[in-house]
Amino acid sequence: MAPAPSVGWAFFPLDEQLGLLSSGVTPRAEELLVRLGTWMSFDHARELLSDLLGVQVSRATARRATLWAGEAALAVCEAQTERLKQEAPPVPLGAHKQAMSADGAFVPLVGGVWAEVKTLVLGEVTRNQQGEICTQHLSAFSRLCDVEHFEQATLLETHRRGLEKAAQVCAVQDGAEWLPGLVDHHRADAVRILDFAHAAEHLGEVAQAAREAGSELGDDWLSTQLHELKHQGPSQVLADVRALVARHPEVKGLRDQLAYLEKREAQMQYPTFLAASWPIGSGSVESANKVMVEARLKGAGMHWQRHNVNPMLVLRNAVGNRRWQETWNASWTRRRALGATQQHQRSQQRLMSACWTLAAVTMRLQRMGCPPAPARATTTASAPGEKATPRPGSGYSWRKPFLRRPPSSSIGPGGFSAKK
C-alpha cells in the first residue's frame, strides 16, 4: 500500500482558543518549561517538567520553546530601545546616588570560538545596617555584541533605572580600554574608580617581578602597600614602585605595571572615594558574570550558536532582575501576534491557490464544452508572372485529375462548356 501524501501545514482553531504555540502544551506548562530551560540544561528542564506536571516533551521541544521565547523578548527589547532613541521620553525618577559597573565574560561558541559577553550592572549606593558602604537593588544587562552596539543597547536599562537623572553617579570597574567610552556615553560626569581588587592584583605582579629580578622584599610588602593605597592614596605607593623600576630598569614587566598604575592614578584616590561614601569594588558585575552568564552558557560541553546567545541572555536577565513576569508577558504577546500574522498569510496563500485552481478548472471545462472552431482556408499567393490556378467547379472530377479543365471563359452556368 502506497504511503499517504503529506497534507501540509494547517491551523487548528482550538489551538488559538487554548493558547497553544510552538511547544504544543498549555501556556502555563510552556512558561514553566521556558523558565526551567533558562536556569538549567534543556535535558534537565524537560525531566523536571515531567516530574512537576506530568507533561512529557522532547529535548528539542524544550530548546525550541526556550529560544523562541527569548527571541521574542529580545525583539521587544530592541523595539523599545529604538523607540527611546526616536521619541526621547521623559526619564523616570531613580535613586539619588547610583553606581555602574561593567565587565566582560567569555562563552564558548560552536566551532571552538570564544566570544565576550558584556554586562552592565546598575545599583543604588547606600549603607547597610552595620554602616558599611554597599550597592543594593542591583540590575544587570548582558549582550553579545561589539562596544558600539552595547552602548546603544544599554540605554534601555539606564533609562529604566533613571541613571540620567541621578544626582551622583560613580563608575567602578577594571582598566579595560572599552569601559571609559561606555561611561562617557551614559554619564560623562561620573566619578571614575578603579576596582581596588584590580589595583591590588597589579601591585602583586609588581612584587613578583621585583623578587624575580633580585630584590629582597618582605613578606608584608604587598599588604603594607595595599593599606597605604586604601587609607593614604597612591602617591607613596607609586613612589615605591618607581624606586623598584629604577633599581631594575631592564625588567619590562615592572615598567609596564608602573605605566598602568600611573595612567590610573586619578582613579585610585580611595581615601577620597570612601569619604564620599562611594564603593571601591566591582564585585557586583563580577558576580553577575558568574551567575547570569557563565552559570548557564558556560557549562561542561556547551557550545552555542552565536544567534542563540542573546535570546538566552534576555531570559537570564529577566530571572536575575526579578522581571520574569513582565518579560514573559511581552514575549507571549509578541509571539501570539506573530502567530496570527503567519496564520493570516497562510490563509491568503491558500485562498490564492484555491482561486488559481478554480480558474484553471473553469477554463478546462469551457474548452471541453465548446465545439472546435472551423479551420480557416489558406490561400497561397502566386509568384509574379504565374497564372493562378482556378478553384475547381462543380464539373471538375477528382476521380480524373489528369483531365484538363476547359478555359474559364468557356464554362457556362452549371459547369458546362459553351460551344460556338
More confident residue, 368 or 377: 368
pLDDT cut 70: percent of the chain above it: 80
- Report whether 53 contacts 35 (CB < 8 A): no
| pLDDT, position 367 | 81
- CA dihedral defined by 182, 185, 189, 191, rounded to 10 degrees? -10
The pLDDT tens digits of the residues spanning 189-216 come to 999 999 999 999 999 999 999 999 998 8
What is the largest distance, in Å, between two alpha-carbon atoms of the chain? 156
Q: Which three cell numbers stand for residue 172?
A: 567602578
- Which grid coordinates belong to 52? 512537576
Q: Give the span between the Cα atoms of 175 and 180, in whole angstroms.
A: 9
pLDDT number for residue 250: 92
Q: Over the chain, what is the mean pLDDT?
A: 85
- Give pLDDT, residue 169: 96
**Averaged pLDDT for residues 96-103:** 96
Give mean pLDDT, residues 335-354: 74
Q: What is the DSSP string of 227-264?
A: HHHHHT-SHHHHHHHHHHHHH-TT-HHHHHHHHHHHHT
411 pLDDT higher than 50:
no
Report the C-alpha gap between 210 and 129 in whole angstroms: 42
Q: pLDDT digits over 290-316, tens only? A: 999 999 999 888 999 999 999 999 999
Second CATH level (architecture) for the domain 91-194+282-305? 2-Layer Sandwich (3.30)
Q: In this predicted structure, what is the pLDDT of residue 309?
A: 97
Specify the pLDDT at position 409: 47
β-pair type (133-143, 113-127): antiparallel
Contact indicator for 113, 133 with CB cutoff of 8 Å: no
Write down the pTM of the prediction: 0.76
Least confident of 11-25, 312-326, 331-345: 11-25
Q: Torsion angle of alpha carbons 216, 221, 222, 226, nearest 10°?
A: -150
Distance CA 76, CA 146 (A): 20
> For residue range 238-261, what is the model confidence (pLDDT) as tens digits?
999 999 999 999 999 999 999 999
Nearest to 217 by CA among 235, 252, 243: 243
Domain ranges of the chain: 16-89+323-345, 91-194+282-305, 196-280
Cα separation values, 123 from 55, 90, 154, Å: 39, 20, 14
Separation CA 267–CA 175 (nearest Å): 10
pLDDT of residue 69: 95
Express each pLDDT in 14-72 by its tens digit. 455 445 555 568 889 999 999 999 999 999 999 999 999 999 999 999 999 999 999 99
Per-residue pLDDT, 73: 96
Q: Please, which pLDDT band fits residue 349 given cuts at 50, 70 and 90?
A: confident
Instruction: Give the model's pLDDT for residue 23.
Output: 54
Average pLDDT over residues 277-292: 94
Q: Do residues 118 and 157 touch, judged by C-beta distance below 8 A?
A: no
Q: Which has the higher per-residue pLDDT, 337 or 188? A: 188
Asked if pLDDT for residue 270 goes beyond 50, the answer is yes
pLDDT digits (tens, 9 = 90+) for 119-173: 999 999 999 888 889 999 999 999 999 999 999 999 999 999 999 999 999 999 9
DSSP assignment letter at 281? -
Asked whether residue 350 carries a pLDDT value surpassing 50, the answer given is yes
